[in-house]
Each structure stands twice: as structure tokens, then as C-alpha cells.
Amino acid sequence: MTRFAWGAASDTGRVRQANEDSFLTVDGLFAVADGMGGHQAGEVASHLALESLQAGFTAAGTDVLVRAVEDANRILVERSTTDPELAGMGTTLVAMALVESAGRDAIGVVNVGDSRLYLLSDGNLAQITEDHSLVATMERQGRLSAAEAAVHPQRNILTRALGIDGTVLVDSWEVLPVIGDRYLICSDGLFNEVDESRIAATLRRLADPNEACRELIRLANEGGGRDNITCVIVDVVDDSGRDPKADPANRVRNSHTGGDLTVPESLEAESKAPRAPGAIRSSFTWRVGVFIAAFLFVILAGFAFIWWTGTKTWYVGVDGDKVAIFHGKPGGVLWIEPTLAEDSDLLFANVPRLAVADVQNGVEQPSLDSARSYIENLVEQNLKASTTTTLAASLGASTSSTTTTIVR
């Protein structure tokens, strides 16, 4: 049975007046949320999101964890709509939980926004989650290098967050637990101030999770402390006597895209003992037959998977100057190119700012109806924004209007 040891710490930093970060540490569920919205709205958003996440995680399944995040988003949107003081609030959220997958323990991971989850395994640090920010999108597209992204003035602009839209796309993964592995969940106040090599060195050096958290926060403040800093460290401990490292299965799998993030090491070549000529011929023929059968199976399975992926999915993207629905995967899958399913009346120029990057890259949807609902939601947001602009313009005839910008 898998169990965890953990530690956590949070700090306002050296510049901010309030701490809008929140963290959750209960046995089997760990999360960090980085709120935004100014005043107390960010603090309320992050706290409310984690409260909702804990309440919604009622069964040990990654799908349950994803639904809990979606419910948290819905609650935040409803709250910000009904309470004028909380209008515009939002939050990132990254979480890991002990789940059951294929009859065995696994670690489910979910992410929305630019807070991160790292895995330290065998001394090597790897980022498991993917940032949902403008700069990260540009880096993935090859328009920025990692060094340029780290100092880009727009690196705090998010393309995805909870509380902004009625629907939210939640990234999810499943990771097989391994004795000795260490997970770090953190807000951007840490990795924007401390480089990953120094984070890894600290995680390797300090065995106690609480002590390691405090040291990482000290380093972030030493580096400038320009944002709130939150760290949760979770160590995998297994007292069942079973060694998960003996399992040759893939360690990490992205359940949203179906893509493997790490590949198992190749098995060592089998040693060949001397045999009589007849035995060699018989053994060789049997092994070749099995190899050919396995090879053909993998090829056929690969073609079937590619065909399914390329023809059974939908996404919302851009067709000329309009938002449209396409049949297939964004960018296509090998020889299978996406096809235009239907155009909408929504102009790309009218897409809400926070959704521009997602729509430009292609927002995958499980069905045609889901894609239509997503566009309808964008239209509603645009109408709300237009109504607000019209009202501000009419008021401007008698009094000057001011615009408040929320800076994370």
C-alpha cells in the first residue's frame, strides 16, 4: 500500500502585501492554488478552489479529480458573478492525489494555470505539468527560447485559469508511485526566483520535507521575493515490501492527450549460451515468429490509434477571420489532416483575451456539441464585455471613466 510523507510552507514574499496563495495537504490529496484578482479576491479564489476540490474528490479516480476541478471552476464563476467585490477573481490550481488505476495504486495529477508539479526521481528533476501561459505557449511554438521565456515581461499572462470561463480544460496525468520519489508542488513565486538546478539540489540535500520547503522559500526571497511563494513536498513511502521499480510499465502517462511522458528503459540483451546447431535453428525460428507477430501487432495498433485520434476528435480553432469547429486534432496527426466541420458567427477578433491563445492553437473538445457549447460561451463573454464597454462609454459623457488592471 502506497503512503506519503509531506511538508508545506507559504510566504507572502518581500514585495506583496497579502498572500493570495493557498495549499492543501490531507492524506492522499495535495494541492497549490495561486489566486489573482486584487484586494482579497485572489485569496478568496485560491481558498475556495481548494475547499471545493477537497469536497469534490470523493473517490480514488483521476476522472473524479478532474471533475472536482471543473466543479471548483463552476463555483468560482458563480461566486464572482453574484458578488461584485469578487468580480474578475481567478486562480491557478495544481494537485496530486492517490488514485486507483487498472487495479493498482497510482498518482493522479491535474493542472490549470502556471503553478507547477515537479518529480525528483533518481536525483533528476523533471517538470510534469505544462504551464498555461502566453510565454509558455510561445516557447512551445519555438518563438521563444527557454532563456528568453524566463525573463519575458509578459510571463505572468495566463491563457487558462479557474474562475474566468464557465468551462475549463483540465490537463491530467497518472504517475506510478516509486519508493524514494519526491514531488514538489509550487506557485510561480518559487520557480521565477530560483532556477531548477538549485531547486533540485535543495530537494536532494534536505531529506525532511518541511525543512526543504522552508529552504526553498528562503532562496526565493533571497532571489527577490517578488511574488507569494508556496511549496508542498510529497515523498513516496511504501511499507508493503513491494518494489514498484521492478514494474516495467511506463511511469508517467498524460491521460488528457494519451501520450507517454517517460519511456521505460530497454531491457538488456539476452545472453546467448552455446547450443547445438539444430537447437539454434529451432530456437531462432520460434523467436523470429514471436518477434514478427509482436511487431505486426504494434504496427496495427499504432495505425488504429492514429486513425482513432485523427478522426474521432474535435477542436475549436480559427478559419480565416472566424472561429470555427474542426474535425480532427489541431495540426493533424501524421497523414490525417483536420477538416472544417462548421464555421460560427464569432469573429476571431471578438474572442475574449484570455481565450485567444487557446483558440489560436486549437481547443480540443470531446464532441461536436461540446465544441458548439464552447463557442457559445465565448460569444456570451464577448457580449458581456461589449455591454460593459458601451455602458462605460455612455457614462463617460458625464464623468471620466477609470480602468483597473489586475496584475498577478
CA separation for the pair 261, 282 (Å, rounded): 39
Residue 219: the pLDDT is 98
Domain range enclosing 367: 284-408
CA separation for the pair 250, 126 (Å, rounded): 15
Portion of the chain with pLDDT greater than 70, in percent = 78
Residue 286: the pLDDT is 52
**DSSP-based three-state secondary structure for 197:** helix
> In this structure, is residue 279 part of a structural domain?
no
Top-confidence residue, 261 or 392: 392
Portion of the chain with pLDDT greater than 90, in percent = 55
User: What separation in angstroms does the CA of 52 have from each of 49, 223, 366?
Assistant: 5, 33, 24
Top-confidence residue, 142 or 248: 142
Same domain, 138 and 211: yes
User: Is the Cα dihedral 146, 151, 154, 156 positive or negative?
Assistant: positive
233: which strand partners?
A: 7, 184
Residue 160 has pLDDT above 90, yes or no: yes
Single out the residue in 254, 276, 298 at which a domain terminates: 254
pLDDT tens across 72-105, in order? 999 999 999 999 999 999 999 999 999 999 999 9
CATH of the domain at 32: 3.60.40.10
Same domain, 156 and 75: yes
318: which strand partners?
A: 323
> In this structure, is residue 269 part of a structural domain?
no
Same domain, 247 and 299: no
Residue 22: the pLDDT is 97
Same domain, 231 and 372: no
Same domain, 216 and 135: yes
Q: What is the mean pLDDT of the chain?
A: 83
Mean pLDDT of 334-350: 86
**Global pTM exceeds 0.85:** no
pLDDT tens across 33-79, in order? 999 986 679 999 999 999 999 999 999 999 999 999 999 999 999 99
Same domain, 80 and 28: yes
Single out the residue in 208, 233, 254 at which a domain terminates: 254
pLDDT tens across 265-288, in order? 332 333 334 433 333 333 345 556
Same domain, 243 and 356: no
Residues written for the chain:
408
Residue 307 has pLDDT above 80, yes or no: no
Cβ distance 99 to 62 under 8 Å? yes
Same domain, 241 and 97: yes
Single out the residue in 213, 233, 254 at which a domain terminates: 254
Same domain, 243 and 157: yes
Top-confidence residue, 127 or 155: 127
Residue 293: the pLDDT is 81
Most confident of 177-181, 255-259, 310-314: 177-181
Domain count along the chain? 2
Residue 374 has pLDDT above 70, yes or no: yes
pLDDT band at 123 (very low <50, low <70, confident <90, very high): very high
Same domain, 14 and 134: yes
Top-confidence residue, 334 or 317: 317
> In this structure, is residue 262 part of a structural domain?
no
CA separation for the pair 353, 260 (Å, rounded): 32
Residue 336: the pLDDT is 78
User: Is the Cα dihedral 393, 394, 395, 396 positive or negative?
Assistant: positive
pLDDT band at 190 (very low <50, low <70, confident <90, very high): very high
> In this structure, is residue 406 part of a structural domain?
yes
Q: Cell numbers 510552507 correspond to what residue?
A: 9
DSSP character at residue 404? P
Same domain, 125 and 247: yes
Same domain, 209 and 294: no
Residue 216: the pLDDT is 98
CA separation for the pair 226, 193 (Å, rounded): 8
Residue 404: the pLDDT is 38
Residue 252 has pLDDT above 50, yes or no: no
pLDDT tens across 192-246, in order? 999 999 999 999 999 999 999 999 999 999 999 999 999 999 999 976 544 444 3
Mean pLDDT of 183-195: 97
Top-confidence residue, 273 or 122: 122
> In this structure, is residue 260 part of a structural domain?
no
Residue 134: the pLDDT is 85
Residue 402: the pLDDT is 41
Mean pLDDT of 3-21: 96
